[in-house]
């Protein structure tokens, strides 16, 4: 909106007289808002956005264009875009009625054109973008997404933000060494727990490993990340059945770490790990 001022001048008999100054305000006929349907994002997630344009004027507004930067940010000399428009997800409603999809160029930036908002009416533009390898997945990270809505009677910049979801993602693998053994030989099982989430698995998460060894170990020794564990304190083992279990609160797994390639800006994930090694005689 803009405020204007105006003053008249009266001339007579070589004399000039000014009127009082009057003021008024030009209000925008159109207004726009942008909303993210979800408040958080994860790796490769789709994030849906809704842009609402309201026309309070008495004339239809045509040829409106929406330009979305898809979260673009600078990294050194690079401009990185953490979102990729998903082709075919664009929907366009006028006064609640679905219309043929307007022209969309994926970019980045995403450009949606040929939008019309009727007098006294509204339009909704809905689309989805996928989180890509340039998005920061570290806990607390944010993607701020900005769009400009331009056309007759509107030149609006609207932004919305989504925060990375914080979660622990654990998986386990088991290896045996050696894979061939003689009677009364020594055998080791190595369990590796990986955390691909951005939040540490802490003691109160009660991460527990259970196994039943076959063949049964007559006796065992256990290490956790290279440190010796004590039976009854850190784990239990039944030499009659071969049942092995770690005790609650003994295992923690650090969050994944993320490194950004200085040349390309792409983010690489390195899982956090914890290792339990059980060695015994069979």
Residue 9 lies in a domain: no
Give the rounded percent of residues in the chain with a pLDDT score beyond 90.
Answer: 82
Owning domain of residue 174: 170-281
**What CATH code is carried by the domain that includes residue 111?**
2.60.40.740
Residue 248 lies in a domain: yes
Residue 110 lies in a domain: yes
At 12, the pLDDT band (50, 70, 90 cuts) reads: confident
State both tokens at 168.
Answer: 């622990």
Does residue 235 share a domain with residue 113? Answer: no
State both tokens at 149.
Answer: 């809505």
Residue 11 lies in a domain: no
Q: Residue 25 has what pLDDT?
A: 61
The residue written with tokens 């045509």 in the block is 62
- The answer to whether the CB of 68 falls within 8 A of the CB of 110 is yes
Does residue 138 share a domain with residue 199? Answer: no
Last residue of a domain, one of 119, 138, 164: 164
Does residue 149 share a domain with residue 66? Answer: yes
Does residue 109 share a domain with residue 43? Answer: yes
Residue 90 lies in a domain: yes
Does residue 246 share a domain with residue 160? Answer: no
DSSP 181: -
Last residue of a domain, one of 100, 130, 164: 164
174-186 burial, b at 16+ Cβ within 10 Å, e below that, comes to eeeeeeeeeeeee
State which H helix or E strand residue 99 sits in: strand 97-99
At 2, the pLDDT band (50, 70, 90 cuts) reads: low
pTM, to two decimals: 0.81
Rg (CA), the chain: 32
Segment 196-238, tens digit of pLDDT = 999 999 999 999 999 999 999 988 999 999 999 999 999 999 9
- The answer to whether the CB of 84 falls within 8 A of the CB of 130 is yes
Segment 47-105, tens digit of pLDDT = 999 999 999 989 999 999 999 999 999 999 999 999 999 999 999 999 999 999 999 99
Number of compact structural domains in the chain: 2
**What CATH code is carried by the domain that includes residue 184?**
2.60.40
**Beta strands in 132-202, from DSSP E residues, in sequence order:** 142-151, 154-164, 170-177, 186-195
């Amino acid at each position: 909106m803009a405020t204007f001022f105006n003053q008249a001048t009266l001339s007579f008999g070589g004399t000039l007289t000014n009127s009082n100054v009057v003021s008024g305000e030009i209000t925008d006929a159109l207004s726009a808002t942008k909303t993210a349907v979800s408040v958080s994002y994860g790796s490769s997630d789709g994030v849906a956005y809704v842009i609402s344009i309201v026309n309070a004027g008495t004339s239809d507004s045509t040829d409106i264009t929406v330009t979305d930067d898809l979260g673009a940010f600078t990294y050194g000399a690079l401009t990185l875009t953490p979102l990729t428009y998903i082709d075919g997800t664009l929907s366009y409603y006028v006064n609640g009625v679905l219309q043929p999809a307007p022209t969309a160029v994926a970019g980045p930036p995403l450009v949606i054109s040929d939008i019309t908002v009727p007098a006294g009416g509204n339009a909704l533009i809905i689309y989805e973008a996928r989180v890509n390898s340039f998005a920061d997945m570290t806990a607390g990270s944010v993607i701020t997404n900005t769009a400009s809505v331009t056309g007759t009677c509107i030149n609006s910049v609207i932004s919305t933000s989504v925060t990375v979801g914080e979660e622990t993602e654990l998986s386990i693998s088991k290896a045996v060494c050696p894979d061939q053994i003689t009677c009364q030989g020594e055998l080791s099982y190595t369990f590796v727990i990986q955390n691909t989430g951005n939040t540490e698995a802490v003691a109160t998460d009660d991460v527990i490993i259970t196994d039943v060894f076959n063949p049964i170990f007559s006796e065992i020794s256990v290490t956790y990340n290279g440190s010796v564990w004590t039976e009854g304190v850190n784990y239990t083992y039944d030499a009659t059945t071969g049942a092995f279990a770690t005790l609650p609160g003994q295992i923690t797994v650090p969050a994944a770490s993320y490194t950004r390639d200085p040349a390309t800006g792409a983010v690489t994930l390195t899982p956090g790990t914890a290792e339990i090694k059980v060695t015994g005689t069979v």
